Structure 1
């Protein structure tokens, strides 16, 4: 009985003049916006070229296409921002030196190991040793202090106090290293060659 009364009461509200007036106003407002948007498109295209000015239905079609394009672009930006956020969080937590043994190697030995891995086509491991060579090179130059417990974010923070441009380049190399070292990216030969050139640009620079 209570359910029947509630249903009847709901029907009365929906059929009531106040609700119908509210609904009409709401729909009228939306229709008004839609017409203004179509008019804007007609004026815009008319200013560009009068021959391009569309009819009402043509303006509606163009407006729908524009809305779809805007939504797609916004979704792409949101996905990219999310992806960059994930990468930055990992950047703040991953530690490039996994053992004391890796730190005991000289940067030249890591370079030799990078060349060895490159020769057998293991570009992910080659990327790892190339990055560690760069890290220990900076350590030897006393631009930063390499430690097993430190993250790349901490190294970046130390390096930017020495030179912001170096730090920005290091940041990009470290992000790629993270993806290669933790199995998220199967590094191709072309990617490794570019990475190697970037890293060697540091090692061979006379400014360092």
Structure 2
């Protein structure tokens, strides 16, 4: 009996474990229908298991029943493990579909299936080499935004401003949110305010972009 009590989680522990998985930050982008569907499955399964365990524990009065119950417990544990894998697969598939919803335009630049953060950054380098630092800043910033979108760090749409992105990053506890704020301010001053004075200022901008770029690359969304 004591062994079973150790093996069989309470309803609260069961709920907390599943809730913890489904509410990780990397799953924050999931919409309510899928989360509600998974929650319904979890609740129904939890209730059914609790009733079954209570019934079995009350009726265990000989070693044979104990052995049969233990076998069933291990079978249920295996089933739960399989179901956990299925839930993870569903979440991953949904994330894949979200990634395929590519943004069509960033800061006036058309984004098609051939556009990647790398190609945009190459354009930025070309403009830098010709001395057009304003366009270089624009394309490098667009490249960074697209990378953040593809890594599921943020989800871009036509109404999301740089300030809204910064607030989202800060709310999500992204530890380079302050860097994003700094380079987005420099972008605004450069592109909209025409205030990037010289190559030294551009180099300072590039250092911030490089720092953020590396962090986004490491992000597992």
TM-score, structure 2 as length reference: 0.46
TM-score, structure 1 as length reference: 0.49
Q: Which has the higher helix share?
A: 1
Max radius of gyration: which structure?
A: 1
